Amino acid sequence: MIYQPAEDSYLLSGNIKKYLKDKPKSIAILDMGSGSGIQAKICKEIGFEDITTADINPEAILHLKEENLNPIKTNLFSNLHKSGLGVGVLVPLQFNLIIFNPPYLPEDPREPEDSKLATTGGKEGYEIIVKFLEQAKPHLLSSGVIFLLISSLSKPEVIKQKANELNYKLERIDSQKLDFEELFIYKLTK
């Protein structure tokens, strides 16, 4: 199952469009956990070309290939490296903008296995986001920015605390209340 765009996707893409409005078209963009590729497609539509998509789901990778969105099959940043100087030396691929609309729901034993990959962020809902934050810094250029969507269901206080521990600068730039949750868009910098 590929995660199909919903309220969270559209909230994030609206903020991405605003952010990219005045940015040079040459910046390197990573759409992590790309799924349907909506964020990458938005970036491409407004003229950006150096876009990489990344997902762990083989179905999503096939879809992203069909859409010509430069996909890499990876578990977060595990395959986002290039060869460096010397044998066996890997250098992180780096980006000006990393976009992440993660799976953020707490584990629900009633949820079908095929949709868990796209929606479940771990037992409490924040575990994948924390792993992302722990791994992202080497992949972010010094002036780079992360746009991260989180939900009130995924314990935002835990995520914000972890971001602070990892010395990210964190700024909430948007939110949207839904019937059963509130969505937040955060901008993170080194």
The whole-angstrom separation of Cα 120 and Cα 91 is 30
Inside any domain, residue 143: yes
Q: How confident is the model at residue 190 (pLDDT cuts 50, 70, 90)?
A: very high
CB of 83 closer than 8 Å to CB of 58: no
The whole-angstrom separation of Cα 57 and Cα 54 is 9
Q: How many other β-carbons are positioned within 10 Å of the β-carbon of residue 94?
A: 16
Picking from 18, 12, 44, 14, the residue whose alpha carbon sits closest to that of residue 29 is 44
Q: Which domain holds residue 55?
A: 7-12+25-77+91-189
Beta strand 105-106 with 95-100: parallel, antiparallel or unpaired? unpaired
Inside any domain, residue 83: no
Per-residue pLDDT reduced to its tens digit, 80-125: 998 877 777 788 999 999 999 998 878 888 877 777 777 888 899 8
Inside any domain, residue 107: yes
Inside any domain, residue 20: no
Inside any domain, residue 103: yes
- Mean pLDDT value of segment 159-174: 97
Per the structure, the count of domains in the chain is 1
For residue 136, give the CATH number of its domain.
3.40.50.150
Per-residue pLDDT reduced to its tens digit, 17-73: 999 999 999 999 999 999 999 999 999 999 999 999 999 999 999 999 999 999 999
Phi-psi region of 126 (alpha: psi -120 to 50; beta: other; left: phi over 0): alpha
Inside any domain, residue 86: no
Inside any domain, residue 1: no
